[in-house]
Amino acid sequence: MSSGSDANGCDENQLKAKAKVMFDKTSDYLSAELNLTLEDYQLLEDMNNATTERYKEMTDVTVNLAQNADQ
């Protein structure tokens, strides 16, 4: 066995290539996870904004009903 090989018979260049593939795939995975999380938070923000608008509309209707009931 040469000094540049490990127990599996891989030389240093093969190990570097495999490590690069591993890090590239890990990077792709983490990027996808972060994008998914970002999309989840965007959806929550959109839902919160829609809910806020709906409650504002219900408040306006309630105020109008209260004013009409007083007349």
The tens digit of pLDDT for each residue in 24-63 reads 999 999 999 999 999 999 999 999 999 999 999 999 999 9
Rg (CA), the chain: 30
pLDDT value at position 8? 64
Query: Tokens representing 62?
Result: 């309630």
Q: Distance between CA atoms of 17 and 8, rounded to whole angstroms?
A: 15
- What confidence category does residue 1 fall into, taking pLDDT thresholds of 50, 70 and 90? very low
